[in-house]
Structure 1
Amino acid sequence: MDRALRWLSNAAKGELREPDEPFEIPAFDTNSASATTIAFNETQESFPDWRTTYGQWGTVNLRSLPTAEETYATGAFKDSDDEVVYQPQWGGYIDSNPDDSVSGAWALLEEVPIEPPWEAPETWEDLEGFFEGTETDPYELRANIKPVLDDEPVKILLIGFPIPASVDGDPEIIYWQPIEIQEFKDPNDLSGGFRDTGRGPEIAERREAGEEQIRWLDSDNWSHEQLTRRGHMTEWFLDRNIVLIGAGALGSMVAENLVRAGCQQLTIVDNDTYEIGNVARHTLTIDEVGRNKATAVADRLESIAPYAQVLDVDSAFPPSGELPEPIREAEVVIDCTASRGVRRALDAIRWNHPVVFCSAAMGRRASRLFCFTAYSHTFPYSDYNEAFDPWRLQEQIEWDEDEDAIPERVGCWHPASVIRTDRVMTWAGTVTRLLDQATSLSLRENHFTVLETGSGDELPTISQATPPFQDGTIWRAPESPINVQIPATCLEAMYDRCRKEHPCETGGILAGTDRLNGPALVVNARDPPRDSIQEPTRFLRGTDKVEEWLKDARESIGIDYLGEWHYHPGASPDLSRDDRTAMNEIANDDGYDCPHPLLFIVGQDEEGQFSINAYLFHDSKEYEQLERIDNPDAASTLNVGDDI
């Protein structure tokens, strides 16, 4: 009641509309008409097309859309001489429904039809005043459009007028408010008869339609700029040609985010078929089972936004033969395949113009997101590998240690796979955020982002991931061009085993990997095999299941045998004659395929504190004691030996 009283007071004083306030369309009473809605597409860019047509009328093609409510989208507007005035540019969804259409009519006023203080015309007599001074008479208009609309199932006249963005602002867009004409007046029904002079229909409309209640219909502006006002990506992306490779769980959600965020030109590339197992983590539905993913996702995206033009390429990337034009003209390329083959193919293609690249993939159980963005003429594959290699190894190690992990061969679509769709949605939204940030990259610049969140049923708390293997100790050979890094977790694993077996000697295998741009990395310090001999003055490392473990580690994780570790309880970590003999035998044993094995010896002083020395052996029976580097940056310029 208070609001109603304030409204009446402001209306009486002429203060309903204050300058600079957002302009509002008057409330047109649509209760008496059908539930038909008209969707139009008007922008600031289309506004100049109408400047010379104020006061005129014409016809418009109305395309029926398969929505739950009866909806028609405006097609070509023609003037009374049948010349095209304006052709709205729609996306694929509306362009694919051109056959089921009706003819309508339009008339353009020069001002908003508002009866003071804020009321829309209710009768044709009320509307008549807004046509005064124009080339169009409303009753003559009804007579002229009768032949066009008479046989249509719904008779629609669009009344257009220019509107500003704010009160008292300059007009910047055309708004269309539709009228449903229930029936046209028949001259034969005129009382007293009439002479057929050709003006009979106009006279009938003038006499009979003046007091007729206007049946206003609902309408909405479906233009791109209107539908994205509630939130969109950086303007730079909205009219770019975007290619997305991989329409799986992550790719389909990224693509949907792009369209809902205002992107208009997309090409989806995927040769895979949508299967029932995909339903758990995909934007498609059961209706699309058996269809190509790229085609089905493209159809879905076009049904989301009327401005979206989405093409599909139903083949693997890169397509055979010449690249399709949408890929050649791509300004943004997004890879959601997690495929090395795709990244290599992108590296082999050179675009004539700089491209924003984004390669996104989820980690184990989707607890991490890896997102690499670059701005270049070709995808910088070597830079990507350098950034991702430590994480690839970390992921493989975690998979190997996860007893509940689903075997990779099952496929991520399998119902037993443990990635939930809410996690995929989280990362898909993050990818579009990171894409926004990619617009700040300079030419040939790239950025690698790793985000992680809790696993299991924890509430997602996303944070920047700490790079793996950063807390290790680096050792350098004094003569050979070899550096070795051993993470703190491996050292602690050795110390724990020493505490457990004390006062007996113990030890195990060292496994890891060589890295071309950094120290060789020890990632696993194995406990002693079951058949090992552990005594206070002797340790003999056993062989039970060692060969099987090394074979599995090489195939599943990509790590190899690097050497041994050994514990001297209550003694210094110095090399003994037996240690040297054993390591020389390993260096000369082709079965180990390690001509330069490592040996880490853990010692212990009288106070129980551990100390450690490291040695590098050669098949020539020579060895080097490695030097511990307290400043890791000092080793960054050293090359890694190929033999480790």
Structure 2
Amino acid sequence: MHKSDIEFYNSYFAGLERCRLEQNFRLLDEEPFYHGRICIDTAKGPLDFEVLLPEDYPFGEAHFYCRTIKGYNHQNLTATETLGGNACLNTPFVDHLHTRLSLDVEKLYQWIEDLYINETRQEYEYPAFKTQGKAHLLFSETANDLTPDRFRENLYGTMTYTVLNQRLTSNGKAETYTLLAQQLGGKESSWSKAYKGGDLYQGVWVFVAKEPVVRHRLKMDSWEQLRDLLPSSFSDFFLDFCKKSARYMLGPDGLREYFLLALGYAIPTLDNKQEVHWDLLLVPVKDFRRRELKRRPKYIKNLTEPLLWDGTTNSSYQRFFGRGMLSKALVSKNILIIGAGAIGSSLSELLVRGGLTKLTLSDSDTVEPGNVCRSKLTFKHTNIAKVLNLRLSLLDISPFVDIETIAAIQPTSPKGRYYENTASVLNQFDLIFDCSADNQVLQMLSYGNVISPIVSLSITNKARHLLCLSSWDSPRLIEMKSRLLDWLKADHYPTFKPGTGCWHFTFEASYPEINALLNKALNNINTSTLNGQKPETFILSAETNSSISKLSFIKYQQPELGLKLKVSSATVETVLANSDSFFPNEYGGLLMGSYSDDFSEALVFDVILPSKFKSSPTSFVPDTDELNKKLNKYGKEHDSGVEYLGEWHSHPKGSGQYSPQDFASLKKVAEAGSVAVANPLLLIASGYKGEMQLSFYVFSKNKLYKFSPYN
């Protein structure tokens, strides 16, 4: 196999246009690569390349190290100086040797033409340099931070930094420190309070007029090259800093032999603005020992040693969350999550990973081992307060979120002595997510004194459904939940008991079952805020044989009567589909749902459709005996939570105006003693196939009142 590969590589490169095979390919003994040398003729002269191809190529990446040129765009430096810079080609994987190699070579020739011969200007690329691997500085900079006045008075100063983590060697010694910059470039960092704490170490920063490169993208490698970039008075400042170094904690154990110097300069952004980028220099302490400086001053501008560069990364909020930030209208809110269990813990992580910056967690429970399997809580923190456990996990995710905890928000009512204080606490938040699965909490949140918007998230047993209740369109949260559960024929209270002993009952559902619904629910909430809308009440179904995957509600109102109407999306879809199916004849059925306890809102969940009827383009007469049987069966299946609310039928090619017969029919229903609804509804689907419009009416005081849609 190796022999045939070697023969192929030799013949392939020897046959390339403008290419000479300078050294035949062979399989290296010490590394799993084939190595050869080629020379490509260009308009600017020949380019020599060391070629390394993985032993299992086309898997892996082909490497073309140019020994002739350095510092060009998309040319990475390597640890071995003799190899030169590696051309960054980034070709797609194809599991065919000749095809993959042809793609790589075609990209190499294009790289030579565009970036070496023509030096085509592309998007900004950071200068190439070798790092020491001792420190990596994270900072936060955006275009908004580079104001005209920022460096007008001070081009240098002191900075502080903390240690985020350290990578250890096999013998336990620190190998690389990851550092968080604070007060860099005279600007307060944007890290959260948790990341501004800890041991603070001091370093120095300086802002220069241009990036420290000698040619193309190749970074300066000596102090002589850097000298002219530094402000004239910086050497004196740095000398003074070194003389006072005994006052400072200069670094953790593994970095105390260096002063940290952050070198900043302006670079272009993707939207044609400018922001500051910071590079990190390690300045050996031995060159500036305080005892020697008192006797003989030494200036940084006079150093002759090589520059010791190390790694940095701009970790601004925009870059941190740029790949998947949630709606700014959502994550900019001050959010309270009540309940840190299966739903609340996962929701909090989703929000934090999406860019949330202000979060408060509330839960009175401690972590039990049985909590861990379906939540974001950890076994290591068993018997610790859930909110403290969760806070630690969330802070590990984002350096931009400030998290407060409240041990518990005790449910109470307006007649309770602590109710006003509780309502005052709740009203401090821009948005409250209730994930407690506690009806007492939901009832408390339903009272009018709590004016903060509320979204309640709960699941039914075995995670068959997720209920999202929004106070924006359902202020009576507890009543809405009850009506939805009745319609779903779901248990109102959990029934699962995890073991013997005295337990609170809970619902039964696995982690993936819960989060499959929760992820979709948050996506719906996020989409609504992206579109400038308020989160709505909806139901999600996990059942594959369910007629709905998501059930939302279309809202109507009748201002004269002060009556609101919510119609499920499933009802609308069924009415429209059947009106189209029987077009051009009329068709209809019954509306099923319920009125709120105070009769201020009607909720239509479903329809009953007859299979026996007579219809024409101008009439529809169902078989009443069959409809009554279906109605009785429906009532038994849904107990008393869902009942007959009215009727619907279509007006093919007609208008949404009700007829005298429609009025007479609804009046008869309202006056019938056998019917439990005093204000029946009428729905008319009118128009042409595929273009039907819905008109809703309610019968009240011997009159039909029309509803109008609202958001």
| Whole-Å separation in 2 of the counterparts to 1:188 and 1:245 | 56
2:181 counterpart SS class: strand
Q: Which amino acid aligns with 1:363?
A: T
Decide whether the 8 Å contact of 1:486 with 1:523 is kept in 2: no
| Whole-Å separation in 1 of the counterparts to 2:290 and 2:683 | 99
**Quick one: which of 254, 261, 273 aligns to 1:157?**
261
* Shift in Å, 1:452: 1.0
Q: Which runs of 5+ in 2 are unaligned?
A: 1-63, 65-104, 168-175, 413-417, 553-567, 576-588, 593-603, 612-627, 644-668, 685-695, 701-711
**Quick one: which of 185, 197, 206 aligns to 1:107?**
206
Alignment pair present for 1:452 and 2:452: no
Range that drifts further, 245-254 or 336-345 = 336-345
**Quick one: which of 306, 312, 327 aligns to 1:234?**
327
2:395 counterpart SS class: helix
Provide the residue aligned with 2:386 in structure 1. Answer: 293
The root-mean-square deviation of aligned C-alpha atoms, in Å, is 4.7
Alignment pair present for 1:431 and 2:521: yes
Higher strand share: 2
1:213 counterpart SS class: coil
Decide whether the 8 Å contact of 1:233 with 1:262 is kept in 2: yes
Provide the residue aligned with 1:536 in structure 2. Answer: none
* Shift in Å, 1:442: 8.6
Decide whether the 8 Å contact of 1:160 with 1:174 is kept in 2: yes
**Quick one: which of 176, 186, 196 aligns to 2:278?**
176
Relative to structure 1, the CA distance from residue 441 to residue 276 in structure 2 (aligned partners, 3 Å threshold; closer, same or farther) is: same
Relative to structure 1, the CA distance from residue 521 to residue 10 in structure 2 (aligned partners, 3 Å threshold; closer, same or farther) is: same
Alignment pair present for 1:72 and 2:162: no
CA offset digits 1:270-289 (Å, max 9, x no partner): 11222110111111211221
Decide whether the 8 Å contact of 1:394 with 1:468 is kept in 2: no
| Structure showing greater Rg | 1
* Shift in Å, 1:52: 2.5
Q: Which amino acid aligns with 1:426?
A: A
| Whole-Å separation in 2 of the counterparts to 1:463 and 1:433 | 12
* Shift in Å, 1:120: 1.3
**Quick one: which of 458, 475, 495 aligns to 1:361?**
458
1:316 counterpart SS class: coil
| Whole-Å separation in 2 of the counterparts to 1:386 and 1:187 | 75
Relative to structure 1, the CA distance from residue 328 to residue 235 in structure 2 (aligned partners, 3 Å threshold; closer, same or farther) is: same
Range that drifts further, 111-120 or 278-287 = 111-120
CA offset digits 1:432-454 (Å, max 9, x no partner): 222224437999x7732112123
Alignment pair present for 1:268 and 2:268: no
CA offset digits 1:2-32 (Å, max 9, x no partner): 45554454444562533xx3x22222311xx
Alignment of 1:246-265 (within 5 A): 246-265=339-358
1:341 counterpart SS class: helix
Provide the residue aligned with 1:129 in structure 2. Answer: 228
Percent identical among aligned pairs is 18
Decide whether the 8 Å contact of 2:337 with 2:360 is kept in 1: yes
* Shift in Å, 1:430: 2.1
| Whole-Å separation in 2 of the counterparts to 1:162 and 1:260 | 29
Alignment of 1:382-461 (within 5 A): 382=476, 384=477, 387-395=480-488, 397=489, 407-410=495-498, 418-439=508-529, 447-454=536-543
Alignment of 1:4-15 (within 5 A): 4=108, 6-13=110-117, 15=119
* Shift in Å, 1:366: 0.8
- Larger relative contact order (CA 8 Å, sep ≥ 6): 1
Relative to structure 1, the CA distance from residue 393 to residue 258 in structure 2 (aligned partners, 3 Å threshold; closer, same or farther) is: same
* Shift in Å, 1:462: 4.6
CA offset digits 1:89-143 (Å, max 9, x no partner): 3214303x32x22111111112222322111111222222322xx34455x5653
* Shift in Å, 1:149: 5.1
| Whole-Å separation in 2 of the counterparts to 1:487 and 1:41 | 53
CA offset digits 1:453-504 (Å, max 9, x no partner): 2369x9xx954487799998579xxxxxxxxx99999999xxxxxxxxxxxx
Relative to structure 1, the CA distance from residue 185 to residue 410 in structure 2 (aligned partners, 3 Å threshold; closer, same or farther) is: closer
| Whole-Å separation in 1 of the counterparts to 2:310 and 2:425 | 40
| Whole-Å separation in 2 of the counterparts to 1:302 and 1:276 | 22
Q: Which amino acid aligns with 1:279?
A: V
CA offset digits 1:352-399 (Å, max 9, x no partner): 7xx443111112311212112344xxx8433x456544431144x355
CA offset digits 1:153-192 (Å, max 9, x no partner): 423111111222149x342x22211112233426999xxx
| Whole-Å separation in 1 of the counterparts to 2:591 and 2:281 | 80
* Shift in Å, 1:49: 7.9
Relative to structure 1, the CA distance from residue 258 to residue 187 in structure 2 (aligned partners, 3 Å threshold; closer, same or farther) is: closer
Alignment of 1:460-609 (within 5 A): 462-464=549-551, 523-524=635-636
Q: Which runs of 5+ in 1 are unaligned?
A: 79-84, 190-195, 476-484, 493-509, 513-518, 526-556, 563-615, 617-621, 640-644
Provide the residue aligned with 1:185 in structure 2. Answer: 287
Decide whether the 8 Å contact of 2:457 with 2:469 is kept in 1: yes
Q: Which amino acid aligns with 2:264?
A: G
Decide whether the 8 Å contact of 2:162 with 2:179 is kept in 1: yes
1:112 counterpart SS class: coil
* Shift in Å, 1:304: 0.9
CA offset digits 1:503-549 (Å, max 9, x no partner): xxxxxxx999xxxxxx9995437xxxxxxxxxxxxxxxxxxxxxxxx
| Whole-Å separation in 2 of the counterparts to 1:625 and 1:200 | 104
Relative to structure 1, the CA distance from residue 159 to residue 630 in structure 2 (aligned partners, 3 Å threshold; closer, same or farther) is: closer
* Shift in Å, 1:267: 0.9
**TM-score, structure 1 length as denominator?**
0.62
CA offset digits 1:404-438 (Å, max 9, x no partner): x9834559x99996412112222222232222244
Relative to structure 1, the CA distance from residue 188 to residue 333 in structure 2 (aligned partners, 3 Å threshold; closer, same or farther) is: closer
CA offset digits 1:242-284 (Å, max 9, x no partner): 1111111111111111111111011111112221101111112
Decide whether the 8 Å contact of 1:511 with 1:559 is kept in 2: no
| Whole-Å separation in 2 of the counterparts to 1:224 and 1:42 | 9
Relative to structure 1, the CA distance from residue 431 to residue 102 in structure 2 (aligned partners, 3 Å threshold; closer, same or farther) is: same
Decide whether the 8 Å contact of 2:460 with 2:490 is kept in 1: no
Decide whether the 8 Å contact of 1:487 with 1:523 is kept in 2: no
Decide whether the 8 Å contact of 1:288 with 1:296 is kept in 2: yes
**TM-score, structure 2 length as denominator?**
0.57
Provide the residue aligned with 1:372 in structure 2. Answer: 469
| Whole-Å separation in 1 of the counterparts to 2:182 and 2:676 | 78
Relative to structure 1, the CA distance from residue 56 to residue 184 in structure 2 (aligned partners, 3 Å threshold; closer, same or farther) is: farther
Provide the residue aligned with 1:86 in structure 2. Answer: 187
| Whole-Å separation in 2 of the counterparts to 1:187 and 1:420 | 62
Decide whether the 8 Å contact of 2:494 with 2:505 is kept in 1: no
Relative to structure 1, the CA distance from residue 357 to residue 265 in structure 2 (aligned partners, 3 Å threshold; closer, same or farther) is: same
**Quick one: which of 1, 14, 17 aligns to 2:121?**
17
Provide the residue aligned with 1:502 in structure 2. Answer: none
Decide whether the 8 Å contact of 1:359 with 1:371 is kept in 2: yes
Decide whether the 8 Å contact of 2:681 with 2:697 is kept in 1: no
Decide whether the 8 Å contact of 1:60 with 1:76 is kept in 2: yes
Size of the aligned set, in residue pairs, is 475
**Quick one: which of 150, 158, 162 aligns to 1:59?**
158
2:352 counterpart SS class: helix
Relative to structure 1, the CA distance from residue 302 to residue 7 in structure 2 (aligned partners, 3 Å threshold; closer, same or farther) is: same
* Shift in Å, 1:339: 2.8
1:181 counterpart SS class: strand
